[in-house]
Amino acid sequence: MLHGERMAPVLRACARVLQRASSKYGVRHLSSPGIEMPPCDHQPMAYSGPEYDHVRKVRNSNLNPALATHFKEPLLIHSGHMQWLFDHNGKRYLDLFGGIVTVSVGHCHPKVVAAATGQMNKLWHTTNIYLHPKIHEYAERLTETLPGDLKVVYFVNSGSEANDLAMLMSRLYTGNFDIITLRNAYHGASPYTLGLTAHGTWKYNMANGFGVHHASNPDPYQGLWGGFRDSPIQSTRANESKVEGGECSSAEKYVGQLDEVIKYSIPKGKVAAFFAESIQGVGGSVQFPLGYLKKAFDLVRANGGVCISDEVQTGFGRTGEHFWGFQGHGVVPDIVTMAKGMGNGFPIAAVVTTPDIAKTMSQALHFNTFGGNPMASAVGLSVLEALEEDKTQENCKVLGTYFLQELAKLRDEYPTVGDVRGKGLMIGIEMVSDKTTRTPLNSATMMDIWDSCKEYGVILGRGGLYGNVFRIKPPMCITQADVDFTISVFRHVLDKTVN
Protein backbone atom coordinates (compact mmCIF):
# COMPACT_ATOMS: atom_id res chain seq x y z
CA MET A 1 0.00 0.00 0.00
CA LEU A 2 1.20 3.49 -0.83
CA HIS A 3 1.10 6.18 1.83
CA GLY A 4 1.74 9.91 2.17
CA GLU A 5 4.02 11.54 -0.37
CA ARG A 6 4.37 8.34 -2.46
CA MET A 7 0.59 8.27 -2.99
CA ALA A 8 0.32 11.87 -4.26
CA PRO A 9 1.89 11.32 -7.73
CA VAL A 10 -0.42 8.35 -8.31
CA LEU A 11 -3.49 10.40 -7.41
CA ARG A 12 -2.37 13.24 -9.64
CA ALA A 13 -1.82 10.83 -12.54
CA CYS A 14 -5.29 9.32 -12.05
CA ALA A 15 -6.82 12.80 -12.00
CA ARG A 16 -5.11 13.67 -15.28
CA VAL A 17 -6.42 10.51 -16.93
CA LEU A 18 -9.98 11.32 -15.82
CA GLN A 19 -9.68 14.92 -16.97
CA ARG A 20 -8.38 13.88 -20.38
CA ALA A 21 -11.24 11.43 -20.78
CA SER A 22 -13.83 14.03 -19.84
CA SER A 23 -12.20 16.53 -22.21
CA LYS A 24 -12.26 14.16 -25.15
CA TYR A 25 -15.82 12.94 -24.77
CA GLY A 26 -17.43 16.22 -23.73
CA VAL A 27 -18.38 15.21 -20.16
CA ARG A 28 -19.13 18.34 -18.13
CA HIS A 29 -16.65 19.35 -15.46
CA LEU A 30 -19.36 20.84 -13.26
CA SER A 31 -22.96 19.82 -12.87
CA SER A 32 -24.86 21.52 -15.68
CA PRO A 33 -27.82 19.46 -16.90
CA GLY A 34 -28.41 19.68 -20.63
CA ILE A 35 -25.11 21.40 -21.42
CA GLU A 36 -22.51 19.30 -23.21
CA MET A 37 -19.17 20.50 -24.49
CA PRO A 38 -18.70 19.75 -28.20
CA PRO A 39 -16.42 16.74 -28.69
CA CYS A 40 -12.77 16.99 -29.70
CA ASP A 41 -10.64 14.13 -31.04
CA HIS A 42 -7.32 15.76 -30.15
CA GLN A 43 -5.42 14.07 -27.34
CA PRO A 44 -2.85 16.36 -25.70
CA MET A 45 0.42 14.98 -24.43
CA ALA A 46 0.61 14.43 -20.67
CA TYR A 47 1.85 17.44 -18.72
CA SER A 48 5.41 17.02 -17.44
CA GLY A 49 6.25 20.51 -16.21
CA PRO A 50 6.65 21.91 -12.69
CA GLU A 51 3.88 21.55 -10.13
CA TYR A 52 1.08 24.14 -10.19
CA ASP A 53 2.00 25.63 -6.81
CA HIS A 54 5.62 26.03 -7.88
CA VAL A 55 4.54 27.81 -11.06
CA ARG A 56 2.47 30.23 -8.95
CA LYS A 57 5.46 30.82 -6.70
CA VAL A 58 7.75 31.62 -9.65
CA ARG A 59 5.06 33.86 -11.09
CA ASN A 60 4.92 35.86 -7.88
CA SER A 61 8.67 35.98 -7.30
CA ASN A 62 10.41 36.07 -10.66
CA LEU A 63 8.06 37.61 -13.22
CA ASN A 64 6.78 41.12 -13.86
CA PRO A 65 4.51 41.95 -10.87
CA ALA A 66 2.28 44.10 -13.11
CA LEU A 67 1.50 41.07 -15.26
CA ALA A 68 -2.20 40.53 -14.65
CA THR A 69 -3.35 36.94 -14.19
CA HIS A 70 -6.90 36.11 -15.21
CA PHE A 71 -9.35 34.32 -12.92
CA LYS A 72 -9.29 33.72 -9.16
CA GLU A 73 -7.50 30.42 -9.76
CA PRO A 74 -5.31 31.09 -12.80
CA LEU A 75 -5.12 28.55 -15.58
CA LEU A 76 -1.89 26.67 -16.22
CA ILE A 77 -2.25 26.15 -19.96
CA HIS A 78 -0.34 23.17 -21.25
CA SER A 79 -1.50 22.49 -24.80
CA GLY A 80 -3.66 23.90 -27.58
CA HIS A 81 -5.47 22.57 -30.63
CA MET A 82 -7.46 24.85 -32.98
CA GLN A 83 -10.18 26.45 -30.76
CA TRP A 84 -9.31 24.34 -27.71
CA LEU A 85 -6.91 24.79 -24.80
CA PHE A 86 -5.89 22.15 -22.23
CA ASP A 87 -4.64 22.80 -18.73
CA HIS A 88 -2.01 20.84 -16.80
CA ASN A 89 -4.66 18.35 -15.66
CA GLY A 90 -5.90 17.77 -19.20
CA LYS A 91 -9.12 19.71 -18.69
CA ARG A 92 -10.36 21.17 -21.98
CA TYR A 93 -11.55 24.74 -22.55
CA LEU A 94 -13.18 26.54 -25.45
CA ASP A 95 -10.92 29.53 -26.04
CA LEU A 96 -13.09 32.52 -26.95
CA PHE A 97 -10.33 35.06 -26.40
CA GLY A 98 -7.71 33.64 -28.76
CA GLY A 99 -4.67 34.65 -26.72
CA ILE A 100 -6.02 38.24 -26.65
CA VAL A 101 -7.28 38.23 -30.24
CA THR A 102 -3.99 36.75 -31.49
CA VAL A 103 -4.77 33.18 -32.53
CA SER A 104 -6.45 33.58 -35.90
CA VAL A 105 -6.54 30.25 -37.77
CA GLY A 106 -6.32 28.06 -34.66
CA HIS A 107 -3.93 26.90 -31.94
CA CYS A 108 -1.14 24.80 -33.45
CA HIS A 109 -2.76 24.91 -36.89
CA PRO A 110 -1.04 22.09 -38.81
CA LYS A 111 -0.22 24.24 -41.84
CA VAL A 112 1.39 26.94 -39.71
CA VAL A 113 3.28 24.39 -37.61
CA ALA A 114 4.62 22.75 -40.78
CA ALA A 115 5.74 26.12 -42.17
CA ALA A 116 7.51 27.05 -38.92
CA THR A 117 9.28 23.72 -38.48
CA GLY A 118 10.19 23.55 -42.15
CA GLN A 119 11.83 26.98 -42.01
CA MET A 120 13.55 26.16 -38.69
CA ASN A 121 15.19 23.18 -40.35
CA LYS A 122 16.40 25.39 -43.19
CA LEU A 123 17.29 28.86 -41.84
CA TRP A 124 16.28 30.50 -38.57
CA HIS A 125 17.69 33.94 -39.02
CA THR A 126 19.79 36.13 -41.21
CA THR A 127 19.96 39.89 -41.42
CA ASN A 128 17.76 41.66 -43.95
CA ILE A 129 20.78 43.44 -45.40
CA TYR A 130 21.06 40.15 -47.32
CA LEU A 131 18.32 38.69 -49.47
CA HIS A 132 16.32 35.71 -48.34
CA PRO A 133 13.24 34.49 -50.23
CA LYS A 134 10.52 34.33 -47.58
CA ILE A 135 10.35 38.04 -46.71
CA HIS A 136 9.92 38.89 -50.39
CA GLU A 137 7.27 36.23 -50.96
CA TYR A 138 5.43 37.40 -47.88
CA ALA A 139 5.61 41.13 -48.61
CA GLU A 140 4.19 40.60 -52.07
CA ARG A 141 1.38 38.35 -50.85
CA LEU A 142 0.48 40.62 -47.90
CA THR A 143 0.24 43.82 -49.93
CA GLU A 144 -2.07 42.05 -52.40
CA THR A 145 -4.70 41.99 -49.65
CA LEU A 146 -4.66 45.79 -49.27
CA PRO A 147 -6.44 48.36 -51.46
CA GLY A 148 -5.10 51.38 -53.27
CA ASP A 149 -1.46 52.36 -53.03
CA LEU A 150 -0.73 50.57 -49.75
CA LYS A 151 2.23 48.65 -51.14
CA VAL A 152 5.30 49.17 -48.93
CA VAL A 153 5.83 46.99 -45.83
CA TYR A 154 7.95 47.60 -42.74
CA PHE A 155 8.11 44.36 -40.75
CA VAL A 156 8.40 44.66 -36.96
CA ASN A 157 7.59 42.38 -34.01
CA SER A 158 4.55 43.70 -32.12
CA GLY A 159 1.54 45.98 -32.43
CA SER A 160 3.05 48.56 -30.09
CA GLU A 161 6.19 48.61 -32.21
CA ALA A 162 4.11 49.03 -35.37
CA ASN A 163 2.18 51.98 -33.95
CA ASP A 164 5.41 53.45 -32.63
CA LEU A 165 6.84 53.44 -36.16
CA ALA A 166 3.61 54.80 -37.65
CA MET A 167 3.80 57.79 -35.28
CA LEU A 168 7.36 58.53 -36.37
CA MET A 169 6.49 58.06 -40.03
CA SER A 170 3.49 60.42 -39.91
CA ARG A 171 5.45 63.18 -38.21
CA LEU A 172 8.34 62.93 -40.64
CA TYR A 173 6.08 62.87 -43.70
CA THR A 174 3.78 65.75 -42.75
CA GLY A 175 6.34 67.87 -40.95
CA ASN A 176 3.71 68.27 -38.23
CA PHE A 177 3.80 67.03 -34.65
CA ASP A 178 0.29 66.77 -33.17
CA ILE A 179 -1.49 63.42 -33.31
CA ILE A 180 -5.13 62.69 -32.47
CA THR A 181 -6.60 59.48 -31.08
CA LEU A 182 -9.93 58.70 -29.45
CA ARG A 183 -10.75 58.36 -25.79
CA ASN A 184 -11.15 54.67 -24.89
CA ALA A 185 -8.60 53.71 -27.57
CA TYR A 186 -5.72 51.33 -26.98
CA HIS A 187 -2.72 51.50 -29.31
CA GLY A 188 0.05 50.04 -27.15
CA ALA A 189 1.89 50.48 -23.86
CA SER A 190 5.43 51.27 -24.96
CA PRO A 191 6.78 54.63 -23.74
CA TYR A 192 5.91 56.22 -27.10
CA THR A 193 2.51 54.60 -27.75
CA LEU A 194 1.38 55.03 -24.15
CA GLY A 195 0.45 58.55 -25.18
CA LEU A 196 -1.82 57.25 -27.93
CA THR A 197 -3.65 54.98 -25.51
CA ALA A 198 -6.52 56.74 -23.75
CA HIS A 199 -7.25 54.32 -20.91
CA GLY A 200 -6.35 55.35 -17.38
CA THR A 201 -6.00 51.65 -16.50
CA TRP A 202 -2.85 51.49 -18.62
CA LYS A 203 -1.35 54.85 -17.64
CA TYR A 204 1.66 55.38 -15.38
CA ASN A 205 2.13 58.54 -13.33
CA MET A 206 4.77 59.94 -15.62
CA ALA A 207 5.05 62.30 -18.58
CA ASN A 208 3.62 60.72 -21.72
CA GLY A 209 1.68 61.71 -24.78
CA PHE A 210 3.51 64.92 -25.64
CA GLY A 211 1.78 66.15 -28.79
CA VAL A 212 -1.08 63.61 -28.57
CA HIS A 213 -4.70 64.71 -28.13
CA HIS A 214 -7.71 62.51 -27.33
CA ALA A 215 -11.01 63.34 -28.99
CA SER A 216 -14.46 62.38 -27.70
CA ASN A 217 -15.21 58.71 -28.28
CA PRO A 218 -18.09 58.10 -30.71
CA ASP A 219 -19.72 55.33 -28.69
CA PRO A 220 -23.36 54.62 -29.67
CA TYR A 221 -24.08 53.03 -26.25
CA GLN A 222 -22.16 55.02 -23.63
CA GLY A 223 -21.35 58.19 -25.60
CA LEU A 224 -22.98 61.62 -25.62
CA TRP A 225 -25.30 60.57 -28.43
CA GLY A 226 -26.74 57.25 -29.53
CA GLY A 227 -26.28 55.97 -33.02
CA PHE A 228 -26.53 53.24 -35.60
CA ARG A 229 -23.44 51.09 -36.11
CA ASP A 230 -22.26 48.54 -38.65
CA SER A 231 -23.47 45.52 -36.69
CA PRO A 232 -26.29 42.97 -36.91
CA ILE A 233 -27.31 44.20 -33.44
CA GLN A 234 -27.99 47.85 -32.69
CA SER A 235 -27.62 49.72 -29.42
CA THR A 236 -30.79 50.35 -27.42
CA ARG A 237 -29.96 54.04 -28.02
CA ALA A 238 -29.99 53.75 -31.81
CA ASN A 239 -33.37 55.49 -32.00
CA GLU A 240 -31.79 58.67 -30.63
CA SER A 241 -30.45 59.20 -34.16
CA LYS A 242 -31.44 58.52 -37.75
CA VAL A 243 -29.73 57.14 -40.86
CA GLU A 244 -29.77 58.92 -44.21
CA GLY A 245 -27.63 57.95 -47.19
CA GLY A 246 -25.85 55.29 -45.12
CA GLU A 247 -24.71 57.84 -42.50
CA CYS A 248 -25.88 58.17 -38.91
CA SER A 249 -26.86 61.64 -37.72
CA SER A 250 -24.80 61.28 -34.54
CA ALA A 251 -21.61 60.79 -36.61
CA GLU A 252 -21.68 64.50 -37.57
CA LYS A 253 -21.97 65.48 -33.90
CA TYR A 254 -18.94 63.41 -32.91
CA VAL A 255 -16.96 64.76 -35.84
CA GLY A 256 -17.83 68.20 -34.48
CA GLN A 257 -16.07 67.19 -31.25
CA LEU A 258 -13.02 66.12 -33.27
CA ASP A 259 -13.10 69.45 -35.12
CA GLU A 260 -13.03 71.31 -31.79
CA VAL A 261 -9.87 69.45 -30.74
CA ILE A 262 -8.23 70.47 -34.02
CA LYS A 263 -9.36 74.10 -33.76
CA TYR A 264 -8.54 74.66 -30.09
CA SER A 265 -5.51 72.44 -29.46
CA ILE A 266 -3.50 72.21 -32.69
CA PRO A 267 -1.86 74.89 -34.85
CA LYS A 268 -4.05 75.60 -37.86
CA GLY A 269 -3.58 73.01 -40.59
CA LYS A 270 -0.83 71.23 -38.65
CA VAL A 271 -2.25 67.80 -37.80
CA ALA A 272 0.30 65.00 -38.19
CA ALA A 273 -1.99 61.98 -37.90
CA PHE A 274 -5.27 60.54 -36.72
CA PHE A 275 -5.19 57.00 -35.27
CA ALA A 276 -8.32 54.84 -35.10
CA GLU A 277 -9.13 51.19 -34.56
CA SER A 278 -11.86 49.93 -36.89
CA ILE A 279 -13.55 48.48 -33.80
CA GLN A 280 -12.01 49.34 -30.45
CA GLY A 281 -10.51 46.22 -28.90
CA VAL A 282 -9.26 46.70 -25.35
CA GLY A 283 -11.91 49.39 -24.96
CA GLY A 284 -14.60 46.71 -25.20
CA SER A 285 -15.48 46.12 -28.88
CA VAL A 286 -16.86 49.64 -29.29
CA GLN A 287 -18.07 50.50 -32.78
CA PHE A 288 -18.56 53.97 -34.25
CA PRO A 289 -21.76 55.46 -35.72
CA LEU A 290 -22.18 54.85 -39.44
CA GLY A 291 -20.16 57.35 -41.45
CA TYR A 292 -18.05 58.65 -38.56
CA LEU A 293 -14.68 57.35 -39.70
CA LYS A 294 -15.09 58.59 -43.27
CA LYS A 295 -15.98 62.09 -42.10
CA ALA A 296 -13.13 62.04 -39.57
CA PHE A 297 -10.61 61.01 -42.23
CA ASP A 298 -11.78 63.83 -44.53
CA LEU A 299 -11.45 66.38 -41.73
CA VAL A 300 -7.99 65.24 -40.70
CA ARG A 301 -6.67 65.27 -44.26
CA ALA A 302 -8.09 68.75 -44.77
CA ASN A 303 -5.96 69.83 -41.80
CA GLY A 304 -2.69 68.40 -43.09
CA GLY A 305 -2.72 64.99 -41.41
CA VAL A 306 -2.51 61.37 -42.51
CA CYS A 307 -4.99 58.71 -41.42
CA ILE A 308 -3.75 55.58 -39.67
CA SER A 309 -5.86 52.45 -39.25
CA ASP A 310 -4.87 50.24 -36.34
CA GLU A 311 -5.81 46.77 -37.58
CA VAL A 312 -3.94 44.89 -34.87
CA GLN A 313 -7.16 43.22 -33.69
CA THR A 314 -9.62 43.75 -36.54
CA GLY A 315 -7.50 42.64 -39.49
CA PHE A 316 -7.18 39.34 -41.37
CA GLY A 317 -10.87 38.70 -41.92
CA ARG A 318 -12.02 38.83 -38.29
CA THR A 319 -14.89 41.25 -38.98
CA GLY A 320 -16.24 38.85 -41.60
CA GLU A 321 -17.49 41.07 -44.37
CA HIS A 322 -14.03 42.35 -45.30
CA PHE A 323 -10.42 41.27 -44.89
CA TRP A 324 -9.55 44.59 -43.21
CA GLY A 325 -11.80 46.29 -40.69
CA PHE A 326 -11.40 49.75 -42.22
CA GLN A 327 -13.01 48.49 -45.44
CA GLY A 328 -16.30 48.28 -43.54
CA HIS A 329 -16.12 52.05 -43.06
CA GLY A 330 -15.63 52.79 -46.74
CA VAL A 331 -12.20 54.37 -46.24
CA VAL A 332 -8.63 53.80 -47.40
CA PRO A 333 -6.05 54.89 -44.81
CA ASP A 334 -2.60 56.28 -45.55
CA ILE A 335 -0.92 53.91 -43.10
CA VAL A 336 -2.06 50.55 -41.72
CA THR A 337 -0.63 48.84 -38.64
CA MET A 338 -1.14 45.13 -37.99
CA ALA A 339 -0.02 42.35 -35.64
CA LYS A 340 -1.62 39.63 -33.45
CA GLY A 341 -3.60 37.35 -35.83
CA MET A 342 -1.00 38.11 -38.49
CA GLY A 343 1.23 35.39 -37.05
CA ASN A 344 -1.38 33.23 -35.27
CA GLY A 345 0.62 33.74 -32.08
CA PHE A 346 4.08 34.06 -33.60
CA PRO A 347 5.61 37.51 -32.85
CA ILE A 348 5.25 39.39 -36.12
CA ALA A 349 3.78 42.79 -36.97
CA ALA A 350 3.96 45.34 -39.76
CA VAL A 351 3.35 48.87 -40.95
CA VAL A 352 2.10 49.17 -44.52
CA THR A 353 2.01 52.50 -46.30
CA THR A 354 2.29 54.19 -49.68
CA PRO A 355 5.54 54.58 -51.65
CA ASP A 356 5.34 58.34 -51.21
CA ILE A 357 5.15 58.17 -47.42
CA ALA A 358 7.73 55.37 -47.33
CA LYS A 359 10.31 57.63 -48.97
CA THR A 360 10.30 59.73 -45.81
CA MET A 361 12.07 56.98 -43.91
CA SER A 362 15.00 57.19 -46.33
CA GLN A 363 16.16 60.38 -44.63
CA ALA A 364 18.20 58.14 -42.33
CA LEU A 365 19.01 54.46 -41.97
CA HIS A 366 16.14 52.39 -40.63
CA PHE A 367 16.58 48.76 -39.62
CA ASN A 368 14.83 46.15 -37.49
CA THR A 369 16.94 43.16 -36.43
CA PHE A 370 14.15 40.59 -36.22
CA GLY A 371 11.45 42.21 -38.38
CA GLY A 372 10.59 39.91 -41.29
CA ASN A 373 13.08 37.23 -40.30
CA PRO A 374 12.82 33.93 -42.22
CA MET A 375 10.78 32.13 -39.55
CA ALA A 376 8.33 35.00 -39.07
CA SER A 377 7.90 35.43 -42.82
CA ALA A 378 7.28 31.72 -43.35
CA VAL A 379 4.70 31.68 -40.57
CA GLY A 380 2.99 34.85 -41.81
CA LEU A 381 2.75 33.50 -45.34
CA SER A 382 1.28 30.21 -44.10
CA VAL A 383 -1.33 32.10 -42.07
CA LEU A 384 -2.49 33.95 -45.19
CA GLU A 385 -2.75 30.64 -47.01
CA ALA A 386 -4.64 28.99 -44.15
CA LEU A 387 -7.07 31.91 -43.93
CA GLU A 388 -7.93 31.41 -47.58
CA GLU A 389 -8.02 27.60 -47.57
CA ASP A 390 -10.10 27.35 -44.39
CA LYS A 391 -12.49 30.14 -45.46
CA THR A 392 -12.16 31.73 -42.05
CA GLN A 393 -13.44 35.14 -43.17
CA GLU A 394 -16.68 33.55 -44.33
CA ASN A 395 -16.86 31.62 -41.05
CA CYS A 396 -16.49 34.89 -39.14
CA LYS A 397 -19.33 36.48 -41.09
CA VAL A 398 -21.78 33.59 -40.76
CA LEU A 399 -21.00 32.47 -37.22
CA GLY A 400 -20.39 36.00 -35.95
CA THR A 401 -23.84 37.08 -37.08
CA TYR A 402 -25.41 34.00 -35.53
CA PHE A 403 -23.45 34.52 -32.29
CA LEU A 404 -24.55 38.17 -32.04
CA GLN A 405 -28.19 37.31 -32.68
CA GLU A 406 -28.17 34.65 -29.96
CA LEU A 407 -26.46 36.99 -27.50
CA ALA A 408 -29.02 39.70 -28.28
CA LYS A 409 -31.71 37.35 -26.99
CA LEU A 410 -29.86 37.28 -23.66
CA ARG A 411 -29.67 41.08 -23.67
CA ASP A 412 -33.45 41.23 -24.03
CA GLU A 413 -33.94 38.66 -21.28
CA TYR A 414 -31.44 39.60 -18.56
CA PRO A 415 -31.32 43.00 -16.81
CA THR A 416 -27.54 42.87 -16.42
CA VAL A 417 -26.78 42.45 -20.15
CA GLY A 418 -26.75 46.05 -21.33
CA ASP A 419 -25.32 45.96 -24.83
CA VAL A 420 -24.32 43.32 -27.38
CA ARG A 421 -22.24 44.58 -30.27
CA GLY A 422 -19.65 43.75 -32.85
CA LYS A 423 -19.15 42.37 -36.30
CA GLY A 424 -17.87 38.97 -37.35
CA LEU A 425 -15.97 37.37 -34.49
CA MET A 426 -15.13 40.70 -32.84
CA ILE A 427 -17.87 40.76 -30.20
CA GLY A 428 -18.49 42.61 -26.94
CA ILE A 429 -21.09 42.09 -24.18
CA GLU A 430 -21.37 45.13 -21.90
CA MET A 431 -22.66 44.22 -18.45
CA VAL A 432 -24.54 46.79 -16.37
CA SER A 433 -26.23 47.07 -13.00
CA ASP A 434 -28.93 49.35 -14.41
CA LYS A 435 -30.02 49.48 -18.04
CA THR A 436 -31.47 52.98 -17.71
CA THR A 437 -28.31 54.60 -16.36
CA ARG A 438 -25.98 52.09 -18.09
CA THR A 439 -23.97 51.87 -14.85
CA PRO A 440 -21.17 49.29 -15.15
CA LEU A 441 -21.77 46.00 -13.35
CA ASN A 442 -19.70 45.78 -10.18
CA SER A 443 -16.36 43.99 -10.39
CA ALA A 444 -17.27 41.26 -7.88
CA THR A 445 -20.24 40.07 -9.91
CA MET A 446 -18.25 40.34 -13.13
CA MET A 447 -15.58 38.12 -11.60
CA ASP A 448 -18.18 35.58 -10.47
CA ILE A 449 -19.64 35.32 -13.98
CA TRP A 450 -16.20 35.22 -15.59
CA ASP A 451 -14.90 32.54 -13.24
CA SER A 452 -18.05 30.44 -13.50
CA CYS A 453 -17.89 30.41 -17.31
CA LYS A 454 -14.29 29.27 -17.04
CA GLU A 455 -15.23 26.45 -14.67
CA TYR A 456 -17.80 25.25 -17.20
CA GLY A 457 -15.12 25.26 -19.90
CA VAL A 458 -15.57 28.65 -21.63
CA ILE A 459 -12.76 31.23 -21.59
CA LEU A 460 -13.90 34.81 -22.15
CA GLY A 461 -11.86 37.99 -22.23
CA ARG A 462 -12.66 41.23 -20.44
CA GLY A 463 -12.24 44.85 -21.46
CA GLY A 464 -13.59 48.36 -21.19
CA LEU A 465 -12.46 51.08 -18.80
CA TYR A 466 -14.33 49.43 -15.91
CA GLY A 467 -13.65 45.84 -16.97
CA ASN A 468 -17.38 45.26 -17.45
CA VAL A 469 -17.30 44.12 -21.08
CA PHE A 470 -16.88 40.46 -21.95
CA ARG A 471 -14.76 40.20 -25.07
CA ILE A 472 -15.38 37.35 -27.54
CA LYS A 473 -12.60 37.15 -30.14
CA PRO A 474 -11.91 33.42 -30.60
CA PRO A 475 -9.76 31.51 -33.06
CA MET A 476 -11.69 31.97 -36.29
CA CYS A 477 -12.23 28.22 -36.70
CA ILE A 478 -15.00 27.86 -34.10
CA THR A 479 -18.22 26.04 -35.05
CA GLN A 480 -21.93 26.57 -34.50
CA ALA A 481 -21.81 23.83 -31.86
CA ASP A 482 -19.23 25.93 -30.00
CA VAL A 483 -21.50 28.98 -30.19
CA ASP A 484 -24.52 27.03 -28.93
CA PHE A 485 -22.43 25.60 -26.09
CA THR A 486 -21.27 29.09 -25.11
CA ILE A 487 -24.80 30.50 -25.11
CA SER A 488 -25.98 27.62 -22.92
CA VAL A 489 -23.13 28.13 -20.46
CA PHE A 490 -23.57 31.90 -20.33
CA ARG A 491 -27.32 31.58 -19.76
CA HIS A 492 -26.76 28.96 -17.04
CA VAL A 493 -24.19 31.15 -15.30
CA LEU A 494 -26.38 34.25 -15.47
CA ASP A 495 -29.27 32.30 -13.96
CA LYS A 496 -27.04 31.23 -11.06
CA THR A 497 -25.23 34.53 -10.58
CA VAL A 498 -27.53 37.48 -11.18
CA ASN A 499 -31.09 36.09 -11.09
The CATH number of 391-499 is 3.90.1150.10
Cα 427–68–16 angle (5° rounding)?
85
Write the CA distances from 360 to 67, 96, 118, 492, integer angstroms. 37, 41, 36, 56
- 474-492 pLDDT tens trace: 999 999 999 999 999 999 9
Q: What CA–CA distance (Å, rounded) separates 447 from 435?
A: 19
Per-residue confidence band for 365, with pLDDT thresholds at 50, 70 and 90: confident
| Higher-confidence position of 5 and 497 | 497
Query: Residue ranges per domain, the chain?
Result: 112-389, 391-499
Residue 466 has pLDDT above 60, yes or no: yes
Percent of the chain with pLDDT strictly greater than 70: 93
- 281-301 pLDDT tens trace: 999 999 999 999 999 999 999
Residues in CB range of 397: below 8 A, 6 or more apart: 320, 321, 424
Identify whether the C-beta of residue 159 lies closer than 8 Å to the C-beta of residue 130.
no
Q: Does domain 112-389 fall into CATH 3.40.640.10?
A: yes
- 204-217 pLDDT tens trace: 998 889 999 999 99
Identify whether the C-beta of residue 19 lies closer than 8 Å to the C-beta of residue 46.
no
Residue 369 pLDDT = 92
Would the CATH topology of 112-389 be identical to that of 391-499? no
Residue 66 pLDDT = 80
Alpha helices (H) along 108-248: 110-120, 133-143, 159-174
**What stretches of 64-143 adopt beta strand conformation (E)?**
77-81, 84-87, 92-95
Predicted structure pTM score: 0.92
Identify whether the C-beta of residue 489 lies closer than 8 Å to the C-beta of residue 453.
yes
Residue 337: half-sphere exposure toward Cβ, Cα within 13 Å:
29
Identify whether the C-beta of residue 416 lies closer than 8 Å to the C-beta of residue 433.
yes
Residues in CB range of 446: below 8 A, 6 or more apart: 431, 462, 467, 468
Residue 293 pLDDT = 98
Residue 30 pLDDT = 52
Task: State the average pLDDT over residues 326-342.
Answer: 98
Q: What CA–CA distance (Å, rounded) separates 348 from 161?
A: 10
